[in-house]
Each structure stands twice: as structure tokens, then as C-alpha cells.
């Protein structure tokens, strides 16, 4: 049974909270403190670090490696599966889903809001990657 919009938002908020903690600290963990970078360079590096952490987190957890479940999804009993065989997606499908999520966010969140109105509760990122979010 596909998971609805509200429960998916709650799971994502848990994941986003975790990522903001880890992603926000990531640049400080990997950047040399004695760097001679200019004032604007750290902000760009911080954003890049957050995107990298997001990429790794979601692709690993959404794929077969993580069982199709992020930590937020585990908390609410959800998992990502492929439409075809209801198994967790492979790494490439999870990567495609992550890219689709960024597109969904970039276009005024329309691709994510789509989940609330779609009969199968699929966002654009789900449709692109041919995935569903189901209750486990």
C-alpha cells in the first residue's frame, strides 16, 4: 500500500534534520582550518559539502545497500521499492530518484506536492525512477 503525503513529509523532516546536523558540520571536518581561501569560498564549499552528504545518504539508504529505507523512513515504517518487483531499487535507480527529488524541489516543490494528489502517491522523483514509497 503506497504511503501518503503526510507520513512521507514527516519521514523526510527527520532525514532533513539529521542531514542539517551532519551536512552543516561536514565542511568543518574536511576543510583545512589554515586554508587561504577568500571569504566567499567557504560558503560555496559548505553548500557543496551538504549536497555531497545528501547524495550519499539518500542513494545509500534508498538503494539495496540500505534496504530502501532512510532513518526517517525506518522510524515511520516506510520503504522505497521499485514498481516492477517491489524490491529496494539499485544504486543507479536511487541516484536517479535523488536527482528527480532535486528537480521536484527546484520547481517550487511542485514535484513533491504531486504526492498528495497522485492516485499512487508518487512524486515526480518516484515517477522518474519508477519507484513507490510503501508502508513496510
| Structure confidence at residue 49 (pLDDT) | 67
Pairing assessment for the beta strands 78-82 and 131-135 based on DSSP bridges: antiparallel
pLDDT (tens digit, 9 = 90+) per residue, 94-132? Answer: 999 999 999 999 999 999 999 999 999 999 999 999 999
Statement: the pTM of the whole predicted model exceeds 0.75: yes
- Where are any strands of DSSP class E within 17-98? 78-82
pLDDT mean over 61-66? 98
Say yes or no to pLDDT of 33 above 50.
Answer: no
- Cell numbers placing 36: 587561504
Residues near 106 by beta carbon (within 8 Å), at least 6 away in sequence:
none
Say yes or no to pLDDT of 46 above 70.
Answer: no
pLDDT mean over 42-61? 78
| Structure confidence at residue 27 (pLDDT) | 53
Amino acid at each position: 500500500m503506497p504511503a501518503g503525503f503526510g507520513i512521507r513529509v514527516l519521514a523526510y523532516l527527520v532525514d532533513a534534520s539529521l542531514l542539517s546536523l551532519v551536512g552543516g558540520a561536514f565542511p568543518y571536518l574536511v576543510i583545512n582550518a589554515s586554508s587561504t581561501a577568500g571569504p566567499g569560498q567557504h560558503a560555496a564549499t559548505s553548500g557543496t559539502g551538504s549536497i555531497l552528504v545528501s547524495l550519499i545518504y539518500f542513494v545509500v539508504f534508498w538503494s539495496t545497500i540500505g534496504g530502501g529505507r532512510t532513518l526517517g523512513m525506518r522510524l515511520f515504517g516506510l520503504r522505497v521499492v521499485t514498481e516492477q518487483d517491489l524490491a529496494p531499487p539499485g544504486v543507479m535507480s536511487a541516484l536517479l530518484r535523488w536527482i528527480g527529488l532535486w528537480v521536484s524541489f527546484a520547481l517550487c516543490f511542485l514535484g513533491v506536492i504531486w504526492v498528495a494528489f497522485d492516485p499512487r502517491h508518487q512524486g515526480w522523483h518516484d515517477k522518474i525512477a519508477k519507484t513507490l514509497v510503501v508502508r513496510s
